[in-house]
Structure formats: C-alpha cells, structure tokens
C-alpha cells in the first residue's frame, strides 16, 4: 500500500485564484520528473528554495510523493532511511548554496555505509556560475570525494541520460551516493531532441570454481574457522545464503553493526556483533581463529582495533564487491573481488562440514563467562530508590520483547546506539538502520521517517539519545504533517553519554562540554523534568508523548507508545545518568584489553589462548 502523502488542506494558500494546470512541456525540469518516474522513483524527500522550484513544480505533476522535511539534512537522511529499509534508490532534492551544502553530511554518511541515494540539487543559471552569485556553490567539487559520481548537467538534452547513469551507478557493485546538479536555466530549457541512453552497470567477475575450491580447502584444513560478515550481505540480499553456508560448514558467525539482521539473533551459530562494544565471544573468535572468512566487510577500525594484532594467527579470505577494500586495512591470504550473490553459489557448492567440537565448546565457554548483559554500575540522582532506576539496557530489552520481527529500528549515535546493537532481537535484514561508519548524531528520526514512508504498514521505532535527538527533533513536524506513525524512544541521561564515558576513561573525568542539564538549574534532572523537555517540544509539533522516570511504569508506557501504529509518539525515558556501555575495547587496543565494567578487565587472556 502506498502511503498517502497529500498535504492537509491547512497548507493550501487561500485567497488565490485557481488556475488550470498547464500540460506537461518539454522543459528540463519536466524531463527530470518524467525520467525519475521511468526509473521507478516513487518518493522524493525535499526542501524548497529558489533554485529547485522548477523541479518541484514539475514533480508535483507526476506520480511521485514529495516529502518536505524541516531541514535538508532531514531530506538526505530520509532518503537514506528509505534506501536502507528497502534496498531501493533513495532520492533527495535541495536548492543551491546552503541547501546543497546541508546535504553533504548525509551524503558522506551514505558513502561510509554504502547506501544508494541520489542527491539532486539546483544551482544558479550557467551564466552566473563561478561568479559568486547569490547562493552559488560548486557542490560537485564539494561532494566528489564522497560520491560514486558527482556531475553538473550543462545541457538540457542530457538530462534523461544523466539520471539513468546516476541511478545505475548508485545501485551497481558496492552501492553508494551519487549527485546531480542542475543549473536553473537548464531546468527551464526546452531541448528539441533529448538523449535517453540506457546504462548497464559493470559487475565484477563471479568467483571461479578454482577459487571456490581453494577456499573450501582452507576451510577443510581449519581447526578454528569463523565467518566475519557485514553490510555487504545485507546489500546483496544474501542473508539466507549466509545462514545456509554457516550451517553447511558448522561455522560460527560474527557480524558487524552493518550486518546485524543478516542472521537471526537466536541462531546457535551466531556469536553476536563484534568490535569495540561487541560480544566478547565474537571478538575472541575472530582474533583466535586460524581461518577468517570475511564476507562483505571493510575491516573498519572500530572492529579490528590494532590492525597488526587483529586475527594475527589466521589465514584471511576476503570476498568483497569493492576491490579497493581488499587488503586496504588488513593484509589477507586470499582476496576475491566478486559479488556475494555469485560468491555464495561457489562457496555453497563446495562447502564441506568440518567437525570442530573443541572450538565450539571454547566459544560457548567464552560466551557464558562474559555474555552481553546489563551491568549494574550506575548511580543516579538524589532521592530515587536505586532499585527503581532504569538503565538504557533495561529500556531497550523491554522494547525488544514487544517488537514483531519485521519492525524497523533506527538509532541516533551514542551510548543508546551501542546498547541497541547489543540488546535488540534482530532476526530480519534491513531492520536495524544506524549510522555505523560515519557516526552522525541526528540520524535516527529522519531515517525513521524515510523507513516509514517506504514501509507504512511496518512498525518503525527511532531509539535515540537526548543529545542526538536534539539535533533533529524538528523533524517531528514532518511526522505530524504526513501522519507518519514513527515512534521515538528517548534514552535520556542528560549527557552526551559516549563523550562523557570517554572523558571519564581517558581524560581523568574532565567532562568538558558534555553535560546536557539546564545550565541555570543544575538539579533539574532530579525532579523528573529533564532539559530540554522533549515531551513539551513534541506537543508543540502536535505529537503526543509521555515521560517515564520509574522502572515500574516502563512496560505500560511502552505498550501505550506502540498501541496506535498510525500516530507519531515520543516516549522520554529518564535513565541512570552515569551508566556506561560495556564491554569496551579501548581505541587502538586488542580484544585482550577489553573492559567489562567499572574497574574490571578481561583478566589474563593469553595470545592464542585456545
């Protein structure tokens, strides 16, 4: 069912004489609108301005829903949420100058997490380019380092071909962002014979049978194998093949944050997420393995820590659609440039079950010794019974128990993001949408809007922090305007929590600029009215909300939040102010340096302990 995004009558300008709609012309803006329809675009997230009004006018006359956000960054994150939740191309539209530059953070975020979006910008007329005209910027030069393709279209006849090429590029191989910039006179021009080329994006060669046999031989010789899988599995739609391969090999699996949902969280071979705040058993597995099969990952620094120490005893086989990632951060034994859809076929054809009972038993022991579980380490405000103080993990665990498996969760960035990664019950791909590689605060709410537009009948919940939500809380207006039933769950500890945690651990508790309490009422967080008051802010946007300060009230409050799927709702939950995220491997350290709680460490884990 397509969501009805027709603006309410209250937004209609009154007092104007109704004019008949002119028939579609062959203006450049109309070519843009028509071509977007032809390539399958049904939604554009936008914000209007002088240099994109021609395009908006044309888009209003075709079968494309226009979702106006409250900031251009909301538009690009809305396009991301749409793309991440569906695998389809997300599209955003901005004006020139500040409108265009407000997209840059979201474009860079999409590049980091391999999200296919098309950013369209208007610009000043071609005869004003390079002359510092009003709201002019060379957005192509600005975004070229963080896009797969960035181009300014200088001839109206090239519009259809440029759009088809950009869309094909965004979706081909390793997905990512592209940008097209249209000067205003190009939007207004009427070309006689527009070109309309079709593009077939190049794909990497499939995995050869010889290579598949070589990988199978390495696996057959392994005593301690592990599969390390990431966002490439989600992007390629090969989650089922990942599960089948793990079962065929009887091989444990560790997932990156971008790979969460690729394997059901209750699968016995899944060790959980790995990395700085990952499951201890997952980090042990990849670091003490003798064979690491890396599928669709990029060996991110938050996963591998010290590159020289990561998986130092293992042969590493890296399969990736992006050849540039192979060997970039970590030397590998065998690099395979292939689409995972082709690679899995070869891997499954040659998979042979390898019985490694001692390896499985060892990893079970590691998991039992240090499971991902709440750590009661928090102190809170005066006057509260510590037994009734909520932690972020309490809140997310309670939410997870209520969500259907198809529910989509977005997050902001910070402690709440890590708790969500650790404690949600993720059983389907494309159900956990988070800014993993770029770590962009403010991502959660606009990404949830994009996901809800794409999937109107699926529950969409933004788990956010008070600091992260404060960067995009204005997008509650977008939820209200279009009747989007996004639920916002605020894990509110009155800090930039992850910043404060690092300051405590590394900078001798010098908490510079990380407190979020009211500077004129430093005890405000203790009286049940945090600063800012998100419930009151939500009401100002016409969105219902409530606040929870006691653990006993949480189940009922969560049930009320989820009760009406069609209405946006904000639940502000005050949690222990100084709760920390554990386990944690300090930056640049190894899994042997893991900290499990305040004043705790892993104990003497010898190199190659298995």
224-233: pLDDT as tens digits: 999 999 999 9
pLDDT at 373: 65
Q: How far apart are the first and last CA of the chain?
A: 53
Is residue 317 pLDDT above 80, yes or no?
yes
The residues, ordered by sequence, that sit 6+ positions from 376 with a Cβ below 8 Å of its Cβ are 391
Q: Residue 337: which pLDDT band, with cuts at 50, 70 and 90?
A: very high
302-316: pLDDT as tens digits: 999 989 999 999 999
Residue extent(s) of CATH 3.40.50.970 domains in the chain: 28-188, 392-574
430-445: pLDDT as tens digits: 999 999 999 999 999 9
Is residue 607 pLDDT above 70, yes or no?
no
CATH number for the region 392-574 comes to 3.40.50.970
Burial 290-323, CB ≥16 within 10 A → b, else e: bbbbbbbbbbbbbbbbeeebbbeebbbbbbbbbe
pLDDT at 193: 81
H or E segment to which residue 253 belongs: strand 253-255
416-428: pLDDT as tens digits: 999 999 999 999 9
Structural fold of domain 28-188:
Rossmann fold (3.40.50)
Residue extent(s) of CATH 3.40.50.1220 domains in the chain: 209-369
The residues, ordered by sequence, that sit 6+ positions from 256 with a Cβ below 8 Å of its Cβ are 228, 229, 230, 231, 273, 274, 275, 297, 300, 303, 436
Q: What are the tokens at 25?
A: 């012309």
Separation of CA 580 from chain center: 22
27-43: pLDDT as tens digits: 999 999 999 999 999 99
Across the chain, mean pLDDT equals: 91
CB 296 within 8 A of CB 232: yes
Is residue 524 pLDDT above 80, yes or no?
no
Q: Residue 5: which pLDDT band, with cuts at 50, 70 and 90?
A: low
Q: How far apart are alpha carbons 527 and 605 in whole angstroms?
A: 45
User: Which has the minimum average pLDDT: 75-84, 251-260, 296-305, 377-386?
Assistant: 377-386
pLDDT at 23: 44
pLDDT at 1: 39
112-157: pLDDT as tens digits: 999 999 999 999 999 999 999 999 999 999 999 999 999 999 999 9
pLDDT at 200: 72
Strands (E), 443-551: 460-465, 487-492, 544-548
193-216: pLDDT as tens digits: 888 777 777 777 789 999 999 999
Respond yes or no on whether the N-terminal peptide bond of residue 109 is cis (omega within 30° of 0).
no
Q: Residue 448: which pLDDT band, with cuts at 50, 70 and 90?
A: very high
> Hunting for tokens 């005893």 — which residue is that?
313
Q: Residue 241: which pLDDT band, with cuts at 50, 70 and 90?
A: very high
Between residues 388 and 84, the one the model is more confident about: 84
Q: Residue 546: which pLDDT band, with cuts at 50, 70 and 90?
A: very high
> Stretch 456-480: mean pLDDT, rounded?
98
Q: Show which residues are catalytic.
A: 72, 134-135, 184, 498
Considering the domain delimited by 209-369, tell me its CATH architecture.
3-Layer(aba) Sandwich (3.40)
352-383: pLDDT as tens digits: 998 999 999 999 999 999 998 644 444 443 33
> Hunting for tokens 């893991």 — which residue is that?
594
The residues, ordered by sequence, that sit 6+ positions from 237 with a Cβ below 8 Å of its Cβ are 87, 341, 429
Between residues 525 and 561, the one the model is more confident about: 561
pLDDT at 522: 57
Of all residues in the chain, the percent with pLDDT exceeding 90 is 85
Cβ neighbour number for residue 125 with a 10 Å cutoff: 15
């Amino acid at each position: 069912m397509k969501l009805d995004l027709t603006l309410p009558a209250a937004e209609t300008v009154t007092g104007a004489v109704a004019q008949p709609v002119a028939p579609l012309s062959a203006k450049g803006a109309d070519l843009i609108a028509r071509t977007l329809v032809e390539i399958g675009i049904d939604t554009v997230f936008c914000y209007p301005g002088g240099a994109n009004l021609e395009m908006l006018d044309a888009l209003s006359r075709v079968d494309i829903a226009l979702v106006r956000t409250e900031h251009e960054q909301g538009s690009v994150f809305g396009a991301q949420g749409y793309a991440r939740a569906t695998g389809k191309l997300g599209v955003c539209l901005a004006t020139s100058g500040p409108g265009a530059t407000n997209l840059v953070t979201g474009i860079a975020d999409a590049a980091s997490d391999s999200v296919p979006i098309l950013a369209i910008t208007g610009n000043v007329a071609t005869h004003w380019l390079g002359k510092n005209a009003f709201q002019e910027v060379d957005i192509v030069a600005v975004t070229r380092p963080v896009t797969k393709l960035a181009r300014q279209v200088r001839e109206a006849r090239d519009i259809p071909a440029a759009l088809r090429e950009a869309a094909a590029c965004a979706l081909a191989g390793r997905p990512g962002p592209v940008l097209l910039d249209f000067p205003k006179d190009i939007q207004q021009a009427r070309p006689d014979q527009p070109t309309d080329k079709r593009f077939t994006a190049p794909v990497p060669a499939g995995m050869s049978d010889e290579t598949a046999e070589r990988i199978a031989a390495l696996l057959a010789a392994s005593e301690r194998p592990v599969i390390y899988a990431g966002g490439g599995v989600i992007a390629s739609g090969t989650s089922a093949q990942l599960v089948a391969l793990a079962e065929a090999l009887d091989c444990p699996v560790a997932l990156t944050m971008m790979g969460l949902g690729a394997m059901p969280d209750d699968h016995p071979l899944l060790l959980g997420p790995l990395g700085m705040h990952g499951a201890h058993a997952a980090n042990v597995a990849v670091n003490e393995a003798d064979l690491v099969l890396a599928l669709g990952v990029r060996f991110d620094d938050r996963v591998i820590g010290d590159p020289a120490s990561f998986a130092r005893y293992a042969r590493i086989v890296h399969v990736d659609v992006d050849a540039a990632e192979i060997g970039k951060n970590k030397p590998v034994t065998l690099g395979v440039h292939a689409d995972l859809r082709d690679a899995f076929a070869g891997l499954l054809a040659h998979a042979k079950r390898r019985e490694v009972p001692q390896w499985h038993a060892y990893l079970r022991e590691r998991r039992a010794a240090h499971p991902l579980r709440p750590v009661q380490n928090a102190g809170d405000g005066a006057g509260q019974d510590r037994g009734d103080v909520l932690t972020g993990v309490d809140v997310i665990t309670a939410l997870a128990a209520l969500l259907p498996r198809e529910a989509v969760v977005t997050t902001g960035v910070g402690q709440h993001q890590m708790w969500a990664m650790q404690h949600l019950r993720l059983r389907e791909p494309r159900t956990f949408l988070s800014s993993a590689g770029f770590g962009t605060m403010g991502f959660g709410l606009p990404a949830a809007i994009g996901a809800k537009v794409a999937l109107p009948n699926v529950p969409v919940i933004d788990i956010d922090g008070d600091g992260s939500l404060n960067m995009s809380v204005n997008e509650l207006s977008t939820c209200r305007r279009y009747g989007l039933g996004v639920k916002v769950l605020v894990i509110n500890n009155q800090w930039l929590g992850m910043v404060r945690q690092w300051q405590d651990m590394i900078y001798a508790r010098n908490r510079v600029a990380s407190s979020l309490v009211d500077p004129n009422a430093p005890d405000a967080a203790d009286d049940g009215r945090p600063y800012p008051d998100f419930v009151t802010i939500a009401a100002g946007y016409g969105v219902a909300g409530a606040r929870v300060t006691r653990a006993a009230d949480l189940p009922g409050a969560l049930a009320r939040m989820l009760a009406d799927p069609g209405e946006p709702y904000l639940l502000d939950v005050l949690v222990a102010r100084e709760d920390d995220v554990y386990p944690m491997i300090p930056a640049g350290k190894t899994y042997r340096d893991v900290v499990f709680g305040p004043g705790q460490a892993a104990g003497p884990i010898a190199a190659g302990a298995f």
